[in-house]
């Protein structure tokens, strides 16, 4: 249908009235911790949609992440402008329509449906409303396999909401009533003219998703392959196992675990559980310290095993499932190409384009299969090499054990460095304190000796002076000398003499 001109902007809504239930009681407030409603954004242009499943408050628990999520911390004008620039569908601006009116129209047309189920028609209407382009144009895009216009999300939603072929065939009988039908059924009539529509869409979706599937599978296979080779080829890791075996046999002497020829590699993570007598260190810290001081070349195993962490996140089961699914899709595509009817329209490019794609996709798939087979051989060789029970230990479990030990060992080295630095600091503080105490004691002793020397010097000086005075007779002359009497004042003498008379 031709696009409608945009309606005038609606008047501003009136202030919201208090909401009451049938009993006249105001509704309860939002649950504690869930807060109020989320902020409503109003971009000036239509935005591309993210097809997600919404989480509702009744689905949330008070301890879940969404309760405490603070996404508004990222809000700023620059980011919103960039979002609008990147995801704003400006070309669709002329097709804006009033949502309320559209819903009424959908409900009205659903009542007039000839073939489609109301629910299917409603979902299809919502899907078509997000594109608002002529249905013949959508048909052309599908026939020509126009990958520039047919995006993966669009094909996914179309496959999801497309009526079954029987319904499309039934709708074809209403071509003469096209103008009186609802939009979903009009779309169905147009699509009924595309032969084997669903296989086309599935094939195109497979082609669009194939590169992403390869990019998901290939790095995982490569990570496991690399990790297998690193573990087996690392001499430093082999030396580490030997060192642990030696220490373990020594520690376990006299027990049923003594004299062991080897140990399960998952035991490496248990080194941290063996504590020293004073509880201040562990066997893991001890092994790390020994390597630092005596065997620094062993520490290099942490550099050798670069891919074990990534390999620990690989599920061999999922890899196999994804490859099996890819195989089934290729087989179905091959079957469709072999049985596809001759093109009735000149711009029907399905067989031509998909035949070329089939050859390319098949070549990539075969490479993945070879890589995956090689991965299985490498892992089997590895578990056999270290006597690992592959029935009890999965690929991810094995690499998780190795990755955890690698991380724990690196952390142990860091802790040892910190401990030594702390001990060195304490040693320096202790030495400085002892030095200060020694210097203080030396100063006190020096002062004491100085005082004693001064006292001795004073006593010697007094005796020397006394002997000198005795020898010279000065001591006796001083003793015979009398102190002169003070002269009396004349006025006082006159008073005394007068009183005597």
Token code pair at residue 139 = 């048909």
Separation between Cα atoms, residue 182 and residue 421, nearest integer Å: 79
- With 0-12 CB in 10 A as exposed, 13-18 as middle and 19+ as buried, what is 54? exposed
What are 361-415's pLDDT values in tens digits?
A: 999 999 999 999 999 999 988 888 888 878 888 999 999 999 999 999 999 999 9
pLDDT at 385: 85
Minimal CA–CA distance to 298: which of 420, 406, 382? 406
Token code pair at residue 192 = 């009924």
How far out from the chain centre does Cα 268 lie? Answer: 26
Separation between Cα atoms, residue 38 and residue 386, nearest integer Å: 55
SS3 11: coil
Separation between Cα atoms, residue 218 and residue 213, nearest integer Å: 8
Contact (Cβ atoms closer than 8 angstroms) between residue 227 and residue 307: yes
Separation between Cα atoms, residue 435 and residue 235, nearest integer Å: 48
Contact (Cβ atoms closer than 8 angstroms) between residue 362 and residue 337: no
Which range, of 10-19, 107-116, 431-440, averages the lowest pLDDT?
10-19
Percentage of the residues of the chain whose pLDDT score is greater than 90: 21
For the chain, the first-to-last Cα distance in angstroms comes to: 162
Listing DSSP states for 428-496 in one string gives HHHHHHHHHHHHHHHHHHHHHHHHHHHHHHHHHHHHHHHHHHHHHTHHHHHHH--PPPPPPPHHHHHHH
Separation between Cα atoms, residue 460 and residue 463, nearest integer Å: 5
140 contacts: CB under 8 Å, gap ≥ 6: 146, 347
pTM here?
Answer: 0.59
Confidence of residue 22 (pLDDT cuts 50, 70, 90): very low
CA angle 9–12–18, rounded 5-degree value: 145
Kindly state the average pLDDT of the residues 21-40.
45
Please, what is the average pLDDT of the chain? Answer: 75
Question: 248 vs 242, 267, 405, 412, CA distance in Å?
Answer: 10, 11, 16, 18
Q: How many CB atoms lie within 10 A of CB 125?
A: 21
More confident residue, 252 or 408: 408
Separation between Cα atoms, residue 210 and residue 190, nearest integer Å: 29
Q: How many CB atoms lie within 10 A of CB 454?
A: 10
SS3 275: strand
Separation between Cα atoms, residue 239 and residue 38, nearest integer Å: 58
Separation between Cα atoms, residue 234 and residue 232, nearest integer Å: 6
More confident residue, 361 or 98: 361
Listing DSSP states for 139-195 in one string gives HHHHHTT-TTTS-HHHHHHHHHHPPPHHHHHHHGGGGGGGGGS-HHHHHHHHHTTST
Which bin fits 259, alpha (ψ -120 to 50), beta or left (φ > 0)? Answer: left
What are 253-277's pLDDT values in tens digits?
A: 777 777 777 788 888 998 898 877 7
Separation between Cα atoms, residue 248 and residue 373, nearest integer Å: 37
Minimal CA–CA distance to 360: which of 220, 212, 207? 207
Confidence of residue 42 (pLDDT cuts 50, 70, 90): low
What are 317-362's pLDDT values in tens digits?
A: 999 999 999 999 999 989 988 888 777 777 788 888 888 888 999 9
Phi/psi for 156 (5° steps) reads -60, -45
């Amino acid at each position: 249908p031709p696009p409608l001109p945009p309606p005038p902007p609606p008047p501003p809504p009136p202030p919201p009235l208090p909401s009451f239930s049938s009993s006249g009681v105001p509704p309860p407030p939002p649950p504690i911790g869930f807060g109020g409603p989320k902020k409503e954004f109003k971009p000036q242009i239509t935005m591309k949609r993210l097809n997600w499943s919404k989480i509702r408050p009744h689905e949330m628990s008070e301890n879940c992440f969404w309760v405490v999520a603070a996404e508004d911390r990222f809000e700023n004008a620059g980011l919103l402008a960039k979002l609008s620039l990147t995801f704003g569908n400006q070309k669709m601006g002329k097709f804006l329509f009033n949502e309320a009116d559209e819903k009424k129209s959908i409900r009205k047309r659903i009542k007039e449906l000839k073939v489609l189920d109301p629910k299917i028609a409603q979902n299809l209407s919502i899907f078509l409303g997000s594109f608002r382009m002529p249905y013949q144009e959508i048909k052309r895009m599908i026939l020509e396999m126009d990958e520039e216009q047919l995006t993966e999300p669009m094909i996914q939603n179309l496959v999801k909401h497309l009526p079954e072929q029987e319904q499309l065939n039934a709708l074809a009988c209403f071509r003469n009533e096209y103008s009186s039908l609802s939009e979903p059924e009009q779309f169905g009539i147009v699509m009924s003219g595309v032969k084997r529509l669903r296989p086309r869409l599935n094939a195109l979706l497979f082609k669009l998703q194939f590169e992403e599937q390869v990019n998901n599978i290939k790095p995982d296979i490569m990570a496991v392959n690399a990790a297998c080779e690193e573990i087996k080829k690392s001499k430093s890791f082999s030396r580490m196992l030997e060192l642990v075996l030696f220490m373990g046999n020594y520690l376990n002497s006299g027990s049923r675990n003594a004299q062991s020829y080897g140990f399960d590699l998952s035991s490496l993570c248990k080194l941290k559980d063996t504590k020293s007598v004073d509880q201040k260190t562990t066997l893991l810290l001890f092994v790390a310290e020994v390597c630092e001081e005596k065997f620094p070349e062993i520490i290099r195993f942490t550099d050798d095993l670069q891919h074990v962490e990534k390999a620990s996140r690989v599920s061999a089961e999922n890899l196999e499932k994804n490859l099996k699914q890819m195989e089934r899709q290729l087989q179905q595509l091959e079957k469709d190409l072999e049985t596809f009817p001759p093109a009735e329209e000149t711009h029907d490019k399905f067989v031509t384009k998909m035949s070329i794609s089939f050859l390319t996709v098949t070549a990539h798939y075969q490479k993945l299969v070879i890589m995956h087979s090689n991965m299985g051989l490498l892992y089997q060789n590895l578990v056999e090499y270290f006597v690992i029970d592959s029935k009890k230990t999965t690929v991810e479990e094995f690499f998780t054990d190795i990755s955890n030990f690698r991380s724990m060992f690196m952390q142990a080295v860091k802790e040892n460095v910190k401990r030594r630095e702390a001990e060195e600091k304490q040693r320096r503080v202790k030495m400085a304190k002892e030095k200060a105490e020694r210097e203080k004691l030396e100063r006190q002793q020096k002062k004491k000796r100085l005082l004693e020397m001064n006292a001795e010097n004073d006593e010697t000086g007094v005796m020397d002076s006394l002997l000198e005075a005795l020898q010279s007779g000065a001591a006796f002359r001083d003793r015979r000398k009398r102190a002169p009497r003070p002269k009396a004042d004349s006025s006082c003498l006159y008073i005394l003499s007068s009183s005597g008379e």
